[in-house]
Amino acid sequence: MSDSVALVPSQNRIGELFERERERFAAEHPRSRELYERARGSLLSGVPMNWMTRWPGSFPVFISDAQGATLTDVDGKRYADLCLGDTGAMTGHSPAPTVAAVADRAARGITTMLPSEDAVVVGEEMNRRFGLESWQFTLSATDANRFAIRIARQLTGRPRILVFNHCYHGTVDETFATLADGAVTARHGNVGPPVELAETTRVVEFNDIEALERELAAGDVALVLTEPALTNIGIVLPEPGFHEALRELTRATQTLLAIDETHTLCCGSGGYTAAHGLEPDLLTIGKPIAGGVPLGAYGLSAEVAARVLEGTIWAAADVGGVGGTLAGNPLSLAAARATLTEVLTDEAFERMIALAERFERGVAESIAVHRLPWQVTRLGCRAEYMFAPQPPRTGSEAAAALDPELDALLHLYMLNRGVLMTPFHMMALISPATGEADVDAHTEAFAEACAELAA
């Protein structure tokens, strides 16, 4: 590649192809269009959750069935699903053991405000996988992060958290902070921040150990909250030595460290933490751990757990701001027990990672053949192509590589050829139900897109 000139697709060409694909999409999805028009009468913007407006095309596809790695829409079109509910369905859709457990549990009590035996098994399994001793359950990864932050503030008596620029940890107020000319400010589009983000949050670039050291030296950070590799602005891998420095600096400044494994569970059954021997004080997770049934979790190291036990006013636990009426419900935990012990197993990850390697090879080959200035990065069974020649070192570099027009075109191009990619960036995830044919469907469509873009 080094001696060849990279070809940047022109905006004109991208626009021309997008228009053609948009017309094809509209013509082939009359029933989705009809439902969307009707939905605008009762749902804000015609969708049940606002991000669904961000799919390219003039309206989103409405879903009829999702089974394994295949999704079928209301127009009868089938898709190889590489989005998998943005990791919520990393198990594949409706895996049989989870469905059976849910059916059984749903018939015997869904939510009770009392523990079930499944909770014990899931706690033990989380302990085995991630190495943290004590677990609590929520309904989402967002809530797990929220409670991790509260606990860290409580234990340290410090007001701020530190996150890495362009992170995403769910709809957690403190984490919507970004750097603008070195100053902390709210991210573009952040809805109704309760206070100025600079009051709650310090922000540094991922992999910037010097900045991390400087910001932690202030002594007011309760918690560093991070994914072990950024996945939400495109994949940004940690550089050698980064995690060692992060752990050393947080320990030296008595700052707690939370690793958010919600997406990086793609690295194996114990996530990046187990795969790379990390030693967080807290670990948060959610999305696929109950096969798509709402469940989040946070784990505490033995030391943190002891401090929490000591400091909790148990008589006021119901109004302490940690927990939730439906959290830890028997249905979610029955689903988690089946999912963790029978679906997202070590053997399943081996197959999933091998298929992601196949995806990565297919993408890399087309990029090389068409001399596009792009690259593909893989993290376990997740892979992503980005519109820059080098892998990003920081969230800002990853953000600079975003190209909304090209992104919209490629998402639509894939949809029209029966492949569903994760929205907002060109990310693909492999489930235990994914097959070579699903990966190859993408490889073929991607090769076709590259050829058209390079023409």
Ligand X SMILES: Cc1ncc(COP(=O)(O)O)c(C=O)c1O
Residues at the site binding ligand X, with contacts judged by CB under 6 A: 86, 140-142, 145, 168-170, 227, 232, 260, 262-263, 286-287
- Cα separation, 200 vs 186, in Å, equals 11
CB of 232 to ligand X, least distance (A): 5
CB of 236 to ligand X, least distance (A): 12
Beta bridge partners of 285: 297
Beta bridge partners of 282: 258, 300
Edge-to-edge strands of the sheet including 296-300? 134-138, 296-300, 282-285, 256-260, 221-226, 160-164, 201-204
- Return the number of the residue (142 or 156) whose C-beta is nearest ligand X: 142
Query: Which residue from 335, 372, 308, 258 is spatially nearest to 88, judged by alpha carbons?
Result: 335
CB of 273 to ligand X, least distance (A): 13
- Return the number of the residue (167 or 343) whose C-beta is nearest ligand X: 167
> Which residue of the chain is nearest ligand X when measured via CB?
170
Q: Look at the alpha carbons of 56, 62, 64, 65 in this order and tell me if their dihedral is positive or negative.
A: positive
CB of 142 to ligand X, least distance (A): 3
CB of 53 to ligand X, least distance (A): 16
CB neighbour list of residue 432: distance below 8 Å, 6 or more residues apart:
91, 92, 95, 343, 344, 348, 351, 352
Answer whether 67's CB lies under 8 Å from 74's CB: no
- Return the number of the residue (335 or 367) whose C-beta is nearest ligand X: 335
- Return the number of the residue (289 or 441) whose C-beta is nearest ligand X: 289
CB of 169 to ligand X, least distance (A): 4
CB of 280 to ligand X, least distance (A): 14
CB of 299 to ligand X, least distance (A): 14
- Return the number of the residue (139 or 155) whose C-beta is nearest ligand X: 139
- Cα separation, 265 vs 273, in Å, equals 9
Residue 284's H or E segment, with its range, is strand 282-285
CB of 128 to ligand X, least distance (A): 22
Answer whether 264's CB lies under 8 Å from 241's CB: no
- Return the number of the residue (122 or 167) whose C-beta is nearest ligand X: 167
> End-to-end CA distance of the chain, in Å?
19
Centre a 10 Å sphere on the Cβ of residue 195 and count the other Cβ atoms it contains: 10
CB of 221 to ligand X, least distance (A): 19
CA distances from 324 to 240, 305, 327, 412 (A): 39, 19, 5, 39
- Return the number of the residue (170 or 238) whose C-beta is nearest ligand X: 170
Query: What's the distance, CA 61 to chain centroid?
Result: 21
CB of 377 to ligand X, least distance (A): 16
- Return the number of the residue (9 or 286) whose C-beta is nearest ligand X: 286
- Return the number of the residue (297 or 401) whose C-beta is nearest ligand X: 297
- Cα separation, 397 vs 375, in Å, equals 13
- Return the number of the residue (141 or 246) whose C-beta is nearest ligand X: 141
- Return the number of the residue (170 or 432) whose C-beta is nearest ligand X: 170
- Cα separation, 352 vs 370, in Å, equals 28
- Cα separation, 370 vs 273, in Å, equals 37
Read out DSSP for 74-85? TTS-EEEESSTG
Answer whether 263's CB lies under 8 Å from 88's CB: no
